[in-house]
Amino acid sequence: MTTASVLLTVSTTWSASSDVCDKEERVGRTIRNVAAVAARELRETPATRDQAVRIMRDWIQKNSDIKNVRQDEVFLLRFLRHKKYSIPMAQQTLLKYLSLRKFYPSIFTNLDCEDAKIKEILGNGYIAVSPVRDSKGRRVIVYNMGKFDATKFSCWDMCRAHIIVYEALMEDSIDQIFGFTHVGDGSGSSTAHVTTWNPIDFARLMKWGEQSVPMRHKEFQLVNVPGALKYIIDFATSKVSSKMGERLHIHTNVKNMQSHVDISCLPTSFGGHIPLQDMIKFTRELLIEKRQMLLALDKMEILSTKGIISSRRPTNIIKGDNVSVEGSFRKLEID
């Protein structure tokens, strides 16, 4: 069975307990109803999907501001589904996506899972994809802050690890429709995890990332968040939409978090059923399968940003190279 096939299934390899078996049946029903979910949440029907894809292709072919942009259905559906089939908004998101890639090439280009830094960061288990979906059919992504060596790797290395995983997952139609649940453990954080960031770049990536990367982020469940890291999270929340901020939940302990997340999707260190090493292996196999596709993304170019519509509100946090915070994250201390 290929990784792509595994992505559509729910395994009971991790535990023979009845709750996992019950969960398999529930998720199976959810996956079988994928068309109904797409219609209800995204306004997607076969007719609207086919028509929208044709319009997007025609627009790409006639747009002299972009070059070598993918026109396959899976890629275009990333943007159409993210914007619930508002074609003008999907087009704007695609332009912003290409612009963000150009603005931060150190993050978005050469997404090679064989790159030594990415391989080590993912091999340590900083970010991993669960092979088991939650009961709502969502792909679960797990983060272990303490497994990121902030004395060895930079914030750009951290971002590249995120983006290579996100890009691979966005290729999956089920993930495009059902979205993602993010579960993070902040234990093991150090001052270096905070001070590696420049507030300007951090603010830009939070604000522009939400507008440009077509992922349906449904939940953020965080636990063991120290004070300084909580400050960074609050800062990030202030840069994204209120809708996104409302999906963030910080828990005081793992037991409390478990009441909000299917434990059968989680690693054993989170009280779940899956050894983290199995998640790391699953993530590695996914990235190897998508390796050539990820590298080919570098062929796409945006030649001009004149087609991007930007609302220049006075309350915008980012203006040129300025950001509405004093100093830097280096003044913070980890409790």
pLDDT for residue 25: 54
- Give me the torsion for CA of 255, 257, 259, 265, rounded to 10°: -100
**What are the two backbone dihedrals, phi and then psi, of residue 301, each rounded to the nearest 5 degrees?**
-140, 150
DSSP characters over 155-217? HHHHHHHHHHHHHHHTT-HHHHHH-EEEEEE-TT--HHHHHT--HHHHHHHHHHHHHHS---E
* pLDDT, tens digit, 9 for 90 and up, residues 254-309: 888 888 888 999 999 999 999 999 999 999 999 999 999 999 999 999 999 999 99
Among 5-14, 216-225, 231-240, the range scoring the smallest mean pLDDT is: 5-14
pLDDT for residue 258: 87
Query: Alpha-carbon distance 56 to 76, whole Å?
Result: 7
Tell me the pLDDT band of 248, cut-offs 50, 70 and 90. Answer: confident
Query: Alpha-carbon distance 230 to 237, whole Å?
Result: 10
Task: Please compute the mean of the pLDDT values over residues 180-200 and round it to a whole number.
Answer: 81
Query: Alpha-carbon distance 302 to 48, whole Å?
Result: 27
Q: Look over the chain and give the mean of its residue pLDDT values, rounded to a whole number.
A: 83
Q: Which residue has the higher pLDDT, 192 or 215?
A: 215
Among 61-70, 92-101, 272-281, 322-331, the range scoring the smallest mean pLDDT is: 322-331
Q: Is the per-residue pLDDT at 20 higher than 60?
A: no
* pLDDT, tens digit, 9 for 90 and up, residues 110-137: 999 999 999 999 999 999 999 999 988 9
Could you give all domains of the chain from N- to C-terminal order, each with its CATH number?
A: 39-107 (1.10.8), 116-294 (3.40.525.10)
Q: Is the per-residue pLDDT at 322 higher than 60?
A: no
